[in-house]
Structure 1
């Protein structure tokens, strides 16, 4: 049994006390009303994750640190999450489609029931499907369930979250079958499965409005074989930096070229990065990144 936790000694501060504390620690706050509004709506503790980069020591801000600079960093991160979620949404829908399409043509509309296609994790995955059916939330599934008919895989996939898809993809028994799905993105199936797991992690960070811009992420240098040509050259190679968000942006830009070739996503992200060169080091952005092909505008 877990021992009871010791109550925190921290005390709740009202907004005026929070502002006084920030000023006592050296933060310049020209507009107290703006600061009060931000603290009331954004949470002191949440914003603390953004102002810590301005600290020169424990409980002390570097000279010249302003509350406006903290809010500007917060807004940059929010805009970054919006762009990342846009790319992940397109990839998630695309992956659903290719997963269902490939398996349906391998084993028919109920391919997800075919144990021969999957590893020993199959029963656990099917239990998740049955829970989904029992919830009876989606009209496009009810049209089958109300007739006591098995929903086809192309209907089921529309209810799957990216985390579910990642597990189903990794559980496909035969490498050639996984490769047929990865072929849609011109990636080798082994790093592709790792990529999907990583993107699901990033999606969850964004969906819960977590700090993204300088977060150490799961991904290390993915082991890409010969394909796709040129992608690895555009990733940050420094082992101390390759878990930063920049490499995730490169991989999303690459995937967006395949899912949404007319999108201006890469150009928007490039503009966003260019607006804050002071953040590049903590984001893992390499020197000369603007010259890389993936950041050249191709959309319309």
Structure 2
């Protein structure tokens, strides 16, 4: 059972990682092309300003915690202005899922239909589920 559990969790982690990488690309591409490199910082592009503020707090926490060279580069060269394609790299999958959920409906629909050929409501649900399952697998001890 131990060996099965270990292999099963590894398989799930591997599959969710592929989805996560693709989704990071799709959401960053959409936001950058629709609203500009810093469009994710403006609450006007999102449904709920309170959720957007929580997103910004989470983003700032992850940016400050990061030791990635690309984050240091943006602080040194661009006064700490982190474009969306950099921001998505330091966010958790859960934070990305929440970011997607708070996008305006037309943006969610565009991402879902153009990249996954499903209604946005399906993609939103799938992302929440995958984030939950991935976190269980990542933090479960044998």
1:88 is matched with 16
1:138 is matched with 68
Match of 1:160 among 64, 75, 91: 91
Answer yes or no: is the 8 Å Cα contact 2:112–2:123 preserved in 1. Answer: yes
TM-score of the superposition, structure 2-length normalised? 0.90
1:97 is matched with 25
Answer yes or no: is the 8 Å Cα contact 1:107–1:114 preserved in 2. Answer: no
The RMSD of aligned alpha carbons is: 1.5
Q: CA deviation at 1:157?
A: 0.8
Name the CA distance, whole Å, in 2 between partners of 1:135 and 1:91: 24
Q: CA deviation at 1:195?
A: 1.0
Name the CA distance, whole Å, in 2 between partners of 1:134 and 1:192: 30
In terms of fraction of residues, the more helix-rich structure is 2
SS in 1 for 2:82: coil
Answer yes or no: is the 8 Å Cα contact 2:62–2:91 preserved in 1. Answer: no
Name the CA distance, whole Å, in 2 between partners of 1:133 and 1:168: 16
Name the CA distance, whole Å, in 1 between partners of 2:34 and 2:41: 12
Task: Count the aligned residue pairs.
Answer: 138
TM-score of the superposition, structure 1-length normalised? 0.44
Q: Post-superposition, which runs of at least 4 consecutive aligned residues in structure 1 deviate over 6 A?
A: none
> Which has more radius of gyration?
1
2:43 is matched with 115
Name the CA distance, whole Å, in 1 between partners of 2:66 and 2:14: 28
Q: CA deviation at 1:132?
A: 2.1
List alignment gaps of at least 5 residues for structure 1. Answer: 1-72, 212-300
